[in-house]
Amino acid sequence: MMKSRPEAKEGDFLIKEYRPYLIQIIKEDFATRAPADRKALLIELPKGVKVGVNQVYPTELPLATFPGNLLKKLPQLPEELEYRIVGRDLVLRDTKANVVVDILRNVFPI
């Protein structure tokens, strides 16, 4: 995966025209969450970790459960891709290669 996309950068998959749509979905979802739900999610998320496009998703990070209600609202991905939350970032991860495909930075109001 990384060799096939050596020039990969943020925005290759989550293109700039589409980003406001994703941000709106996430903000609306979090606005409806109870404070206890936000706190529970915050506890489960990895802290102090930086990830980059075309890098291996750190194997020491737990694959925290992605919020089910939010997942239903976001566009469906191909089977080999999944959404992850790392810090305040939405990460698009290739599940087979364990590689970060794209990142939408600072989108989660946590």
CA proximity to 75, closest of 15, 2, 8, 4 = 15
Which tokens hold the place of 93? 């991860």
| Strands (DSSP E) found in 15-88 | 81-86
Q: What is the pLDDT of residue 11?
A: 85
Place of tokens 């209600």: 69
Q: What is the pLDDT of residue 35?
A: 87
Check the CA dihedral 26-45-94-79 and report its sign.
negative
| Segments of the chain scoring below 50 in pLDDT | none
Q: What is the pLDDT of residue 110?
A: 65
C-alpha to C-alpha distance for 41 and 78, rounded to whole angstroms = 25
What global pTM score does this model have? 0.86
C-alpha to C-alpha distance for 36 and 108, rounded to whole angstroms = 16
Q: What is the pLDDT of residue 59?
A: 82
In this structure, whether the domain defined by 19-104 belongs to CATH 3.10.450 is answered with: yes
